[in-house]
Amino acid sequence: MTQANEKPDAPAAKIGVYICHCGGNISDHMDVEAVRRRAENLPGVTVARTNMFMCSDPGQEQIAEDLKNGTVNRVVVASCAPSLHEATFRGAIRRAGANPYIYEHANIREQVSWVHHGEAATEKAAVLVAAATAKAGRLKPLTPIRVPATRHATVIGAGVAGLSAARDLAARGIAVTLVEKSDALGGQLAALDRIAPTGDRAADLVNELAAAVLGHPGITVLTRTEVIATDGYIGNFKLTLRRRPPEGASTADARYVPFQGVRPPEPSDAPSGELTVETGAIILATGFRSYQPRPGEYGFGEFSPVITLPALVRKMAERPAKGRLLQIDGRPIRSVAMIHCVGSRQIPGIHPEDESGHLNEYCSRVCCTATLDAADRIRRNHPGTRVYELYRDIRTYGRGQEELYEQAARDGVVFLRFEADNAPQVTTAAPGEGFALKVKVADTLTFGETLEVPADLVVLATGMEPNDVSDLVEMMKLPVGMDRFLLEVHPKLRPVEMPVGGIFVAGTCQAPFDVTEACNTAGAAAVKAAALLADGQVELDPFVAEVDVDRCRGTGACVDACLNPGALALVEMEVGGRTVQRAQVTPALCLGCGACVAVCPENAIDVCGMTLGQYEAMVDAILET
Q: How far apart are CA 97 and CA 607, in angstroms?
A: 25
Tell me the sheet residues that pair with 454.
438
In this structure, are strands 457-462 and 425-428 parallel, antiparallel, or unpaired?
A: unpaired
Q: What is the pLDDT of residue 253?
A: 78
Q: How far apart are CA 90 and CA 84, in angstroms?
A: 12
Q: What is the pLDDT of residue 435?
A: 94
Cβ-contact 360, 483 below 8 angstroms: yes
Tell me the sheet residues that pair with 106.
78
How far lies 238's CA from each of 116, 150, 498, 567, in Å?
Answer: 49, 10, 18, 16
Domains of the chain: 1-143 (3.40.50), 152-287+467-537 (3.50.50.60), 291-464 (3.50.50.60), 544-607 (3.30.70.20)
Instruction: Classify the C-alpha dihedral 295-364-195-437 as positive or negative.
Output: positive
Q: Comparing C-alpha atoms, which of 316, 330, 327, 449 is closest to residue 371?
A: 316
Average pLDDT by stretches of 10, the chain with 625 residues:
45 93 96 97 97 96 97 97 92 97 97 96 98 97 94 98 98 98 96 94 96 96 96 95 84 84 79 93 98 96 97 92 93 97 96 92 97 97 98 93 96 97 95 91 96 97 97 96 95 92 97 97 98 93 94 94 92 89 93 94 94 94 90
Dihedral angle of Cα 464, 470, 471, 474, to the nearest 10 degrees: 140
Q: How far apart are CA 456 and CA 306, in angstroms?
A: 9
Main-chain dihedrals φ then ψ at residue 264, nearest 5 degrees: -80, 160
Tell me the sheet residues that pair with 609.
none
